[in-house]
Chains A and B, each alone.
Chain A
Amino acid sequence: MKPDTMDENLLGYLLGALDRDAQRAVEAHLRLHPEGRARLEELRQLLAPLADDADAPEPPPGLVNHTLAHVAEYQSRRLRVAPQPSRRQIGAPLRRGMRRADLAVATLILVLSAGMGMTWLARQWRDYRILACQNNLHGIWTALQVYADDHPEGGGAFPRVEVEPPRNFAGVYAPLLADSGAMSADVNTVCPAQTPRTPPTCSLTELDELARRRPDEFHALTRDLGGDYAYSLGYREGDELMGLRRDSGNLLPILADRPQTDGRGNSPNHGGAGQNVLYIGGQVRWCVEPTVGVDRDDIYRNLKNRVLAGEHQFDTVLGPSEATPCLGP
């Protein structure tokens, strides 16, 4: 083998870029040739500085959402507008029955094609909003993982709704994540299918202070802090209220589009068509029914049909921001 060729193969060997046969050939060469091993070490040194810049550049916030929007926008631009009927088609006097029939057919075609176009466009936008919403949930899941890393009990505990005020409502997950530094600024708790708005923010200290000094404002805030998403109210274990942890099980829902006011049926976020559900394991699924917990458990109500904490670990209840795990005094 020519020296240059061997150099190239040694480089590939160091990078793991060779196919299996070439890799074996280099290994055989290295066993027999001490000068090859020396050259390998030289090349290793040559590559070493590159490792100083090995960290992949961080993508800008919202890149996935922007990309999906870019594709959806392009698709909608390509949708053709139904052509206007020509003057000859509609302007001529309708003296005979056939002309009226032609006009009726033309009109029907126009209505149908416009209707189909609108339906297709509406479907594209609905799909985009569902995808963008899933992206939000993925972002929150990442924040939940960071939080769990800092709370190692049970392999990592997620934010827990408490029994007693002021941290006794589902939406408290947002300030808990934000205060711990787990939630980056680009994570959004507003569902993209809803009116764009900036959800209120509040530190835990401010929240405690507000509950003590201005209860009315505090109660108003509990309705908005969790954004458009419903978070786990936890479950009862004896007299204790337990929160979810990593070891609770990957298939347990932890966050979803918020439910209707009475907790029945699908979320209103996507027009009642269904809801995105985030599971502890990180999966996000679009579900057309709320019975997608363990054993077809309704994720918005407990076994007693109440929007309160679950009756056991696998009785999932995801409450809207203001929901509390226990009945008040």
Chain B
Amino acid sequence: MESEQDVPKLDTLTGRSDEELMARFQAGESQAFGVLVRRYERELYGYLRRYLGDGSLAEDVFQNTFLQLHLKSAQYEVGRRVRPWLYTIATHQAVDALRRNGRHQAVSLEQTRDAGPDGEADSLASNLEGRSLDPFETASGNEQAERVRAAVELLPAFLKQVLILAYYQGMKYREVADVMGIPVGTVKSRLHAALMKLQESMSPAPAVHEA
């Protein structure tokens, strides 16, 4: 535990970068770990909540993510960026949780790594076939936010992850690629495909004309 006998300075742990905190934690300064947990509380929980679509599951995965970070801290290489690493751990934990809950859509992080955009589009089309939003359901939902959430929820996991990371978490293509372990080009094509499918599922259903 750090001894504090001097006049407090502004450069406290809370002002340190993620990488400095991780290095300090690795060196035995346990408070640094708590600062990291607090720093990512809102951001990482938000990611997991959106991706998993379940608050309770997101809470469990959040806790397990930091447990893994704690356990893997000895493997941390000084200077390595913590944020993408943390998201990678969180994403793997989330996929495992979905798999345990039997809710995984059978698409791993590595899937379609080698497939071209066309191949992805085909599998996407088949994935979404027959799964567009029920018009009555959407019509009854007054809140636009709920409609958006529901539409995102319907995306296959591998598209949803890219969309959440790039749009809601504000990551760059390169960072999303690092987190998911896929090429940048695949990130781009998945994001594009995700948006096209969102547009499709959120468009009003064509009117039915009686003969």
In this complex, the member of A5, A59, A68, A283 whose beta carbon has the largest number of chain B beta carbons within 10 angstroms is A59
**Do A70 and B43 have beta carbons less than 8 Å apart?**
no
Looking at chain B's contact residues, the main secondary structure is helix
CB distance from A245 to the nearest CB of B (A): 18
**Do B144 and A17 have beta carbons less than 8 Å apart?**
no
Complex formed: what's the CA distance from A138 to B14 in Å?
A: 11
**Do A74 and B67 have beta carbons less than 8 Å apart?**
yes
A24 interface contact, C-beta 8 A: no
A35 interface contact, C-beta 8 A: no
Please report which residues of chain B, range 152-177, place their CB below 8 angstroms from some CB of chain A when the two chains form the complex: 152, 166-168, 170-174, 176
Looking at chain A's contact residues, the main secondary structure is helix
Complex formed: what's the CA distance from A100 to B173 in Å?
A: 69
Partner of A285 from B4, B147, B173 at Cβ < 8 Å: B4
Please report which residues of chain A, range 32-59, place their CB below 8 angstroms from some CB of chain B when the two chains form the complex: 43, 46-47, 49-50, 52-59
Contact with A along B96-119 (1 / 0, CB 8 A): 000000000000000000000100
CB distance from A25 to the nearest CB of B (A): 13
Chain A residues contacting B10 (CB-CB under 8 Å) are 250-251, 281, 283
Chain B residues contacting A281 (CB-CB under 8 Å) are 10
**Do A18 and B14 have beta carbons less than 8 Å apart?**
no
Partner of B188 from A12, A277, A292 at Cβ < 8 Å: A12
**Do B1 and A71 have beta carbons less than 8 Å apart?**
no
Taking A63-B41, A66-B59, A287-B4 as contacts, is the C-beta distance between A15 and B148 under 8 angstroms? no
**Do A283 and B145 have beta carbons less than 8 Å apart?**
no
Taking A57-B55, A283-B12 as contacts, is the C-beta distance between A288 and B3 under 8 angstroms? yes
Chain B residues contacting A295 (CB-CB under 8 Å) are 7
**Do A53 and B149 have beta carbons less than 8 Å apart?**
yes
**Do B172 and A292 have beta carbons less than 8 Å apart?**
no
CB distance from B4 to the nearest CB of A (A): 4
CB distance from B37 to the nearest CB of A (A): 5
Interface residues on B, range: 35 or more
Chain A residues contacting B189 (CB-CB under 8 Å) are 4, 8
**Do B144 and A49 have beta carbons less than 8 Å apart?**
yes
CB distance from A134 to the nearest CB of B (A): 7
Taking A63-B59, A63-B62, A283-B14 as contacts, is the C-beta distance between A134 and B31 under 8 angstroms? yes
Partner of A60 from B55, B172, B176 at Cβ < 8 Å: B55
Complex formed: what's the CA distance from A54 to B195 in Å?
A: 15
Chain A residues contacting B2 (CB-CB under 8 Å) are 286
Complex formed: what's the CA distance from A52 to B146 in Å?
A: 9
Sorted nearest first, the 4 A-B pairs with minimum C-beta distance are A56-B46, A8-B188, A59-B45, A131-B34
| A interface residues with partner B (beta carbon < 8 Å) | 4-5, 7-9, 11-12, 15-19, 43, 46-47, 49-50, 52-60, 63-64, 66-68, 70-71, 74-75, 127, 130-131, 134-135, 138, 250-251, 274, 277, 279, 281-289, 291-292, 294-296
